[in-house]
């Protein structure tokens, strides 16, 4: 009974944190992708003081987390904590003709994201890089093989050669997001596994992308 009560208390606390329309809107938006405080402020039209208050409430309930950008070190990104929405249903949805995942090199995160998307959705997908590498990272291919994720044996491609009108763009690295400014539809702040090159770094990227793709795919409908 104590365990059940504690679970109910935690759920009630999350519902209470979402009782304010602004906080509910913040969580709806973050359920799709990560945003910096400045981006949240601009998106929601809140003053900096009011946004800080709402973020403090959500952070106090363990619903959001922050981490520093790998691109501009002065910037932080806010994202939903794992299991933050257990027992809750996010309300934000979107439509897309094609989903294009973008990172700087198009050698790991964006390639893995596109491969995972093909398993989760019938909406077409592609991947690209703002500064494409010569080849897909060996660590990404090895991680995909370990998880049985079919990878297309395609060389990294430049974003300008891939992007078409109506594409739903998701940046999966901070550098690409900050370089493209207003172009991405969503941003997922995924640490770069190529930097360390370890199996654990690629495993973490696969786990994060798998969760995010699984969360978004049912909520994205074809145009």
* CATH number of residue 124's parent domain: 3.40.50.2300
pLDDT at residue number 12: 84
Same domain, 72 and 112: no
Same domain, 33 and 108: no
pLDDT-derived band at 153 (thresholds 50, 70, 90) equals low
Environment class of residue 195 by beta-carbon count within 10 Å: exposed (0-12), middle (13-18) or buried (19+)?
A: exposed
pLDDT at residue number 90: 63
The CATH number given to whatever domain includes residue 25 is 1.10.10.10
Same domain, 58 and 158: no
Q: Supply the range of the domain harboring residue 70.
A: 2-80
| Secondary structure element (H or E) that encloses residue 166, with its range | none
Q: Which tokens in the block code for residue 194? A: 């190529």
Same domain, 112 and 218: yes
pLDDT-derived band at 3 (thresholds 50, 70, 90) equals low
Last residue of a domain, which of 80, 104, 134? Answer: 80
Provide the β-strand partners of residue 220.
94
Within a domain: residue 121? yes
Same domain, 76 and 106: no
Q: Which tokens in the block code for residue 113? A: 């994201």
The structural domain count of the chain equals 2
Same domain, 116 and 76: no
Same domain, 41 and 19: yes
Q: How far apart are CA 107 and CA 190, in angstroms?
A: 14
Same domain, 172 and 113: yes
Q: pLDDT tens digits, residue range 28-77?
A: 999 899 999 999 999 999 999 999 999 999 999 999 999 999 999 999 99
Percent of the chain with pLDDT over 70: 94
Last residue of a domain, which of 17, 46, 80? Answer: 80
Percent of the chain with pLDDT over 90: 78
pLDDT at residue number 91: 64
Is 87's pLDDT higher than 80?
no
pLDDT at residue number 83: 83
pLDDT-derived band at 152 (thresholds 50, 70, 90) equals confident
Is 1's pLDDT higher than 60?
no
| Integer CA distances (angstroms), 150 to 10, 139, 177, in order | 39, 14, 26
Within a domain: residue 87? no
Within a domain: residue 89? no
Predicted TM-score (pTM) of this structure: 0.77
Same domain, 30 and 75: yes
Last residue of a domain, which of 46, 80, 114? Answer: 80
Same domain, 118 and 204: yes
pLDDT at residue number 26: 95
Same domain, 66 and 121: no
Within a domain: residue 85? no
Same domain, 124 and 149: yes
């Amino acid at each position: 009974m104590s365990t059940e009560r504690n679970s109910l208390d935690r759920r009630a606390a999350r519902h209470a944190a979402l009782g304010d329309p602004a906080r509910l809107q913040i969580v709806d938006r973050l359920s799709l992708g990560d945003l910096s405080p400045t981006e949240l402020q601009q998106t929601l039209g809140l003053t900096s003081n009011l946004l800080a208050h709402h973020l403090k409430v959500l952070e106090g309930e363990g619903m959001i987390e922050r981490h520093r950008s790998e691109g501009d070190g002065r910037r932080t990104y806010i994202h939903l904590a794992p299991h933050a929405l257990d027992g809750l249903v996010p309300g934000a949805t979107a439509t897309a003709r094609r989903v294009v995942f973008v990172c700087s090199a198009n050698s790991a995160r964006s390639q893995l994201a596109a491969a995972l998307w093909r398993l989760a959705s019938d909406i077409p997908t592609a991947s690209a890089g703002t500064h494409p590498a010569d080849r897909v990272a060996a660590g990404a291919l090895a991680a995909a093989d370990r998880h049985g994720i079919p990878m297309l044996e395609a060389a990294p491609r430049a974003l300008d050669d891939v992007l078409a009108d109506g594409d739903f763009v998701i940046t999966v690295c901070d550098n690409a997001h900050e370089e493209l400014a207003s172009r991405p539809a969503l941003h997922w702040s995924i640490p770069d596994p190529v930097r360390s090159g370890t199996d654990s770094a690629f495993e973490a990227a696969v786990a994060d992308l798998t969760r995010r793709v699984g969360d978004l795919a049912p909520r994205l409908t074809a145009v």
